């Protein structure tokens, strides 16, 4: 089933590339494949045994036996949710792209499906080299998607993006090889922990750039602004989660020693990113800028949770990854919808869009208030767990986080007002219609997911790590460590 | 009983969702009726809970109904639970009862507004949020309701979103409340760390002096923000940008009373941290004086009432901080009656004058609307605390409680009495300015009476009900003689102070005398105009500028954060982070240029390179061997 999740979009991509389909049939085939992914995932979720925990739906084939590299995929309880996030977000983005109509449709949808497969691969790979392969396979379509279908500044954005991520990837490749060869296996379930700070830093560099963490976010503003909205949505919604997943699955789990030693540094970077991103989001001049920098802030928050390395922090960060994935996808798609109507995302030229556009106003308002983590929303539940977790590592971190909650309120309300309220801005004409049914059809399921999670955040936070084993143990090496070790490394 | 509580909680939410989803398929009036009906259904649910509790023994009146596990992280978990006990039922009755009246009044007030549906969806959401706050069975649900109340107030204050001032006021209210939410969240983190749970029962387990003090401080931060007490009060007067029934809802039934409820609900923590209790009482007292003074200089009728709310909540904080929980809660209840009445009567005045709120343009309305004047008069007397109106019974017991708290208590007592004088003065200044004297030119030109259709009936009937409540609502408890409220709440929060009958009598007499003299001065200055209003420019300016709190906060917080944000953008983000990658790009290109120069395309260069490389390799191999 896991393999099916990877193969299906790949096969669909190949079909789209090979067959001379026209725009409509290429788009509908892609959408069909993306929806089928969602269906398969729901099956997987229904059949997943949360009581048991551990690796499920796993498949194992030897690949290079002399190097002990294998094709090994499977899902843990927490990765089920991330796979779910991926397939849902990809379906929404493909649907939006289909509706908005992208040029060179066959190439475009093929790449999107390829990306879908690669991201699912990242979340399910249980072999280090396979993980690396999927991680890189995820980047290639993104380079093309940003560089070919982006806005006017797309070449510069792509160049930066490539340089940054390549630098990270090479460091990670070195770490993968050294780590795997030294342990004589690449299988993540057997590889055991390592105490090497250098290997850890190689992985951390790749993940910190990809997430991104402050100050490795130089590629972020341009990439998020210049891509087409659905590609920005994928970038900030799921690709960034792949990096945090890496921190969780490899960084924290395989390197308890370095995690412990470097925790103050990483938490400090996360805190800096949280405040810095929030402040820049507060002054960003355009819709996407606000969402981009708020993503930076949110990645800092999620990193907080991961590196708190305790039950509260880890469960909270898994929940918040899903929340933020859904939120930023919706916001980027909404940014695209607003830009379509007004030809600009500049907040100074927008305004007054609520009058006469009740659907747009309701959708943007709902997403915005969930994004600013109003209590009772799922984002609040995630933030609350994360900060409660990091509070136990030092109350100062939680104070920074609490201050960032206030800043989040400031920048999201600024965004909402600037788009919806006051008198109509110069770019807002009567020709700017309310959301079309198709656009509502793309955003409504995402918001419905968020509302459902708001009613029951424990659906994820209570089903991310096996019930009877503390999340700490799980995260500190998915094979059992002696209890004393756990205590020494992770407390 | 439990079912009643769930109906009470969920029916306004259902109405809000239905109105939102139905969109234009539901007529405007339909939305209004649906929303009103849901609030009355909530009141019905609250009543069944109340009756259910009445039939039980005093010590059995505590029911927690958990529907599902709402949030979970490791061993910590909190359910989506409603709590039915005397305190929550009392709040449910007030919130849903007064809330339903206000929503019913809105049918008339908002009639003809182009976005009525949105308005009623928000109103229902507001009532739901407040009910969640008071019914939430653990601290995180309380915080959830807390935040939802902030959100609903944001939506409603900014309801007329084309007005920049309304949008700004809404944002200010939300951010101020978010600060309170943040300090409360920090208190909860500490509780989780120390006790591992957020149930109300765990509050007893939070031992250790510094822990308790910090938790109490965090909770107090939330309470102060939500109840618009010093120093987080500046959002409340600006919140008058919303429609008048919204003001009534915020001030009477929901929102600002939440702080008092929080202190009573978590009184165990506050009792373990007596210093924080004193801070709460002190902040309440300072607020009641400050707000009373500012109210003297305001010209907007709604703002005067807003400041009077701040001042009255100050009394409640004083009571709750001293441990006179029942007195604070009782004042909360009577205040809900007469404050809703004041706003709604003022709303009729504003409605009749085509939206004008400036009292300087009013005057002489007594002839035009005698019944509104009567309602307003009763509400004013109740606010000042004149016998036998509602405020008299509740406010004076708070003052009496202050006499039982040592020297500090006496200071607060004197301040509270001074506040009574101020209340009389500013309330009747407003009354005389609006209703007294000759009809102003503005009134003669713009006045139009209410019609006897749905609009008039919905507004008139609800005002009448509240008038009756303001008349008789206080008789429920008369401290020295009978005290059912205190008995009712004793199981939840045993009062810390027990004033003697002498304290009650002295406080009552003094408060009555001071209140009456305040009214008398107001009559001299504004009613009969026997004495000219004293003119002290410095004080007038200070009061009009509200003691410069807005300017201070702008300078202390807003300007620095904008400055830091701009500094980050122009000194770090652009040159270092975005610039550095450009430099990397240029470096790479330069390096590429260097290597490109090697690709000469001349065969002899390549041959030379290959030959020399081979030579080097050969030498290396020989040397190593």
Query: pLDDT tens digit string along B355-391?
Result: 788 888 887 777 778 888 888 888 888 888 887 888 7
- Contact pairs from chain A to chain B, CB under 8 Å: 169
How many helices (H) does chain A have, and how many strands (E)?
21, 2
pLDDT score at B258: 87
Residue A332 pLDDT > 90: yes
Using a CB–CB cutoff of 8 Å, tell me whether B496 touches chain A.
no
**Chain A residue nearest residue B151, CA to CA:** A374
| ipTM at complex level | 0.88
B188, B264, B310 from B258: Cα distances, Å = 17, 10, 13
Query: pLDDT tens digit string along A134-193?
Result: 999 998 899 899 888 888 888 888 888 888 888 888 999 999 988 888 888 888 888 878
pTM (2 d.p.): 0.89
User: A196 Cβ partners below 8 Å, 6+ apart?
Assistant: A178, A179, A255, A258
Judge: A380–B144 Cβ closer than 8 Å, yes or no: yes
Q: How far is A243 from chain B (nearest CA, A)?
A: 20
pLDDT score at A461: 84
Work out the average pLDDT over B336-347. 88
**Neighbour-count burial for B87-111, b at 16+ CB within 10 Å, e otherwise:** bbbbbbbbbbbbbbbbbbbbbbbbb
The lowest-confidence range among A184-198, B586-600, B605-619 is B586-600
Using a CB–CB cutoff of 8 Å, tell me whether B116 touches chain A.
no
Using a CB–CB cutoff of 8 Å, tell me whether B146 touches chain A.
yes
Percentage of residues of chain B with pLDDT beyond 90: 6
B contact residues 16-45, partner A, Cβ 8 Å cutoff: 20, 23
Using a CB–CB cutoff of 8 Å, tell me whether B161 touches chain A.
yes
Q: Give the start-to-end residue ranges of the domains of chain B.
A: 318-326+349-544, 553-624
Using a CB–CB cutoff of 8 Å, tell me whether B583 touches chain A.
no
A contact residues 200-239, partner B, Cβ 8 Å cutoff: 215, 217-219, 221-222
Q: How far is B221 from chain A (nearest CA, A)?
A: 13
Using a CB–CB cutoff of 8 Å, tell me whether A380 touches chain B.
yes
User: A125 Cβ partners below 8 Å, 6+ apart?
Assistant: A72, A73, A131, A133, A134, A188
pLDDT score at A488: 35
Using a CB–CB cutoff of 8 Å, tell me whether B110 touches chain A.
no
Residue A218 pLDDT > 90: no
Q: How far is A288 from chain B (nearest CA, A)?
A: 16
Q: In 3D, which of B127, B332, B418, B164 has the Cα closest to residue B246?
A: B127
Q: How far is B324 from chain A (nearest CA, A)?
A: 30
Using a CB–CB cutoff of 8 Å, tell me whether A282 touches chain B.
yes
Percentage of residues of chain A with pLDDT beyond 70: 95
A contact residues 252-281, partner B, Cβ 8 Å cutoff: 276, 279-280
Beta bridge partners of A127: A187
Please return the burial class of A371, using the count of CB atoms within 10 Å of its CB with bins 0-12, 13-18 and 19+: buried
Residue A449 pLDDT > 90: yes
pLDDT score at B208: 67
User: A257 Cβ partners below 8 Å, 6+ apart?
Assistant: A193, A194, A195, A197, A489
Using a CB–CB cutoff of 8 Å, tell me whether B75 touches chain A.
yes
A305 in Cβ contact with A311 (< 8 Å): no
B70 phi/psi in degrees, rounded to 5 = -80, -50
Judge: B70–A457 Cβ closer than 8 Å, yes or no: yes
B9 in Cβ contact with B82 (< 8 Å): yes
Chosen from A399, A406, A473 to mutate, greatest number of chain B CBs within 10 A = A406
pLDDT confidence band for A40 (50 / 70 / 90): very high
Residue A487 pLDDT > 50: no
| A163 contacts on B by Cβ (under 8 Å) | 581, 584-585, 588
- The single-letter DSSP state of residue A150 is S
At A439, list the tokens: 């656009």
Distance CA(B604)–CA(B617), nearest Å, equals: 20
Residue B188 pLDDT > 70: yes
pLDDT score at B554: 78
Using a CB–CB cutoff of 8 Å, tell me whether B601 touches chain A.
no
B contact residues 520-579, partner A, Cβ 8 Å cutoff: 561-562, 564-566, 568-569, 572-573, 576-578
Residue B434 pLDDT > 60: yes
Query: pLDDT tens digit string along B119-139?
Result: 899 999 999 999 999 998 888
**Chain B residue nearest residue A388, CA to CA:** B189
Percentage of residues of chain A with pLDDT beyond 90: 32
pLDDT score at B582: 61
Chosen from A354, A372, A388 to mutate, greatest number of chain B CBs within 10 A = A388
Query: pLDDT tens digit string along B396-410?
Result: 888 888 888 778 888
Count the neighbouring beta carbons within 10 Å of the beta carbon of residue B27.
Answer: 12
pLDDT score at A155: 85
Judge: B581–A417 Cβ closer than 8 Å, yes or no: no
Q: How far is A240 from chain B (nearest CA, A)?
A: 19
**Chain A residue nearest residue B183, CA to CA:** A402
């Amino acid at each position: 089933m896991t393999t099916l999740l990877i193969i299906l979009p790949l096969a669909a991509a190949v079909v789209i590339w090979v067959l001379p389909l026209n725009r409509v049939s290429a788009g509908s085939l892609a959408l069909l494949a993306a929806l089928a992914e969602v269906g398969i995932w729901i099956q997987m979720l229904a059949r997943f045994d949360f009581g048991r925990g551990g690796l499920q739906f796993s498949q194992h084939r030897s690949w290079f036996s002399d190097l002990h590299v294998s094709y090994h995929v499977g899902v843990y309880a927490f990765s089920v949710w991330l796979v779910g996030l991926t397939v849902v977000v990809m379906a929404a983005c493909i649907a939006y792209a289909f509706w908005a109509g992208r040029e060179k449709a066959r190439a475009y949808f093929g790449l999107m499906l390829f990306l879908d497969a690669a991201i699912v691969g990242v979340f399910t790979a249980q072999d280090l080299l396979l993980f690396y392969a999927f991680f890189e396979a995820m980047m290639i379509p993104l380079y093309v998607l940003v560089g070919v279908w982006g806005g006017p500044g797309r070449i510069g954005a792509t160049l930066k993006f490539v340089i940054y991520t390549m630098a990270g990837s090479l460091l990670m490749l070195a770490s993968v090889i050294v780590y795997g060869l030294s342990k004589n296996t690449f299988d993540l379930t057997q590889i055991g922990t390592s105490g090497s700070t250098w290997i850890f830093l190689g992985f951390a560099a790749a993940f910190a750039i990809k997430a991104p963490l402050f100050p490795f976010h130089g590629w972020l503003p341009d990439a998020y602004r210049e891509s087409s909205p659905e590609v920005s949505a994928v970038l900030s919604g799921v690709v960034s989660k792949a990096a945090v997943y890496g921190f969780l699955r490899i960084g924290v789990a395989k390197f308890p020693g370095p995690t412990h030693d470097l925790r103050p540094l990483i938490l400090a970077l996360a805190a800096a990113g949280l405040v810095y991103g929030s402040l820049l989001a507060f002054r960003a001049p355009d819709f996407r800028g606000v969402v981009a920098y708020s993503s930076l802030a949110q990645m800092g928050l999620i990193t907080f949770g991961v590196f708190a390395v305790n039950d509260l922090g880890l469960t909270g960060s898994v929940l918040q990854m899903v929340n933020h994935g859904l939120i930023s996808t919706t916001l980027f798609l909404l940014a695209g919808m607003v830009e379509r109507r007004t030809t600009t995302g500049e907040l100074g030229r927008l305004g007054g869009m609520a009058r006469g556009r009740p659907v747009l106003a309701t959708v943007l308002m709902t997403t915005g208030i969930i994004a600013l983590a109003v209590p009772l929303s799922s984002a609040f539940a995630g933030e609350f767990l994360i900060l409660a977790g990091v509070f136990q590592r030092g109350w100062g971190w939680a104070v920074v986080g609490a201050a960032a909650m206030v800043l989040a309120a400031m920048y999201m309300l600024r965004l909402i007002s600037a788009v919806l309220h006051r008198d109509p801005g110069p770019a807002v004409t009567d020709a700017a219609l309310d959301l079309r049914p198709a656009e509502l059809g793309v955003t409504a399921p995402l918001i419905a997911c968020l509302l459902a999670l708001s009613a029951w955040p424990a659906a994820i936070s209570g089903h991310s790590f096996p019930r009877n084993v503390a999340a700490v143990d799980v995260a500190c090496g998915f094979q059992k460590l002696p209890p004393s070790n756990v205590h020494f490394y992770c407390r | 009983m439990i079912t009643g509580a769930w109906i009470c909680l969920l029916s306004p939410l259902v109405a809000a969702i239905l109105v939102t989803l139905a969109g234009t398929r539901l007529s405007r009036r339909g939305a209004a009726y649906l929303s009103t009906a849901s609030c009355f259904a909530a009141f019905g649910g609250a009543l069944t809970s109340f009756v259910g509790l009445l039939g039980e023994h005093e010590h059995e009146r505590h029911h927690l109904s958990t529907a599902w596990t709402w949030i979970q992280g490791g061993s910590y978990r909190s359910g989506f639970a409603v709590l039915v006990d005397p305190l929550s039922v009392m709040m449910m009755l007030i919130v849903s009862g007064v809330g339903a009246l206000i929503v019913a009044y809105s049918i008339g007030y908002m009639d003809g507004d182009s976005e009525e549906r949105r308005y009623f969806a928000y109103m229902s959401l507001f009532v739901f949020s407040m009910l969640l706050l008071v019914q939430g069975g653990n601290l995180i649900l309380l915080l959830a309701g807390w935040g939802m109340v902030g959100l609903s107030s944001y939506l409603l204050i900014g309801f007329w979103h084309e007005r920049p001032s309304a949008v700004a006021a809404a944002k200010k209210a939300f951010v101020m409340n978010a600060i309170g939410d943040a300090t409360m969240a920090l208190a909860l983190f500490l509780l989780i760390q120390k006790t591992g749970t957020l149930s109300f029962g765990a509050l007893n387990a939070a031992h250790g002096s510094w822990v308790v003090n910090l938790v109490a401080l965090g909770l107090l931060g939330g309470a102060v923000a939500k109840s618009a007490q010093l120093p987080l009060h500046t959002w409340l007067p600006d919140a008058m940008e919303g429609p008048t029934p919204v003001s009534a809802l915020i001030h009477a039934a929901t929102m600002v009373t939440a702080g008092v409820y929080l202190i009573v609900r978590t009184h165990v923590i506050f009792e373990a941290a007596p210093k924080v209790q004193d801070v709460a009482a002190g902040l309440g007292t300072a607020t009641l004086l400050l707000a009373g003074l500012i109210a003297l200089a305001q010209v907007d009728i709604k703002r005067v009432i807003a400041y009077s709310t701040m001042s009255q909540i100050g009394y409640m904080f004083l009571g709750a901080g001293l441990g006179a929980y029942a007195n604070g809660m009782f004042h909360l209840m009577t205040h809900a009656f007469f404050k809703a009445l004041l706003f709604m009567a003022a709303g009729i005045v504003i409605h009749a004058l085509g939206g004008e709120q400036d009292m300087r343009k009013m005057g002489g309305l007594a002839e035009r609307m005698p019944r509104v004047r009567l309602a307003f008069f009763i509400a004013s007397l109740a606010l000042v605390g004149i016998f036998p109106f509602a405020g008299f019974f509740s406010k004076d017991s708070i003052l009496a409680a202050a006499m039982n708290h040592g020297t500090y208590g006496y200071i607060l007592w004197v301040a509270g009495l001074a506040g009574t004088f101020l209340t009389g003065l500013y309330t009747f200044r407003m009354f005389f300015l609006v209703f007294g004297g000759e009809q102003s030119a503005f009134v003669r030109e713009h006045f139009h009476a209410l019609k006897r259709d749905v609009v008039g009936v919905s507004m008139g009937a609800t005002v009448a009900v509240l008038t009756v409540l303001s008349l008789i609502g206080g008789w429920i408890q008369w401290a020295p003689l009978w005290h059912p409220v205190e008995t009712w709440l004793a199981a939840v929060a045993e009062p810390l102070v027990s004033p003697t009958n002498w304290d009650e009598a002295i406080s009552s007499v003094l408060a009555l005398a001071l209140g009456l003299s305040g009214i008398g001065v107001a009559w001299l200055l504004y009613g009969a105009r026997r004495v000219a209003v004293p003119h002290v420019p410095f004080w007038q300016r200070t009061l009009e500028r509200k003691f410069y709190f807005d300017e201070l906060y702008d300078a202390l917080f807003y300007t620095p954060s904008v400055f830091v944000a701009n500094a980050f953008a122009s000194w770090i983000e652009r040159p270092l982070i975005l610039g550095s990658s450009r430099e990397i790009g240029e470096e790479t290109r330069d390096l590429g240029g260097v290597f490109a120069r090697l690709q000469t395309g001349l065969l002899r260069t390549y041959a030379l390179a290959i030959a020399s490389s081979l030579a080097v390799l050969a030498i290396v191999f020989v040397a190593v061997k």
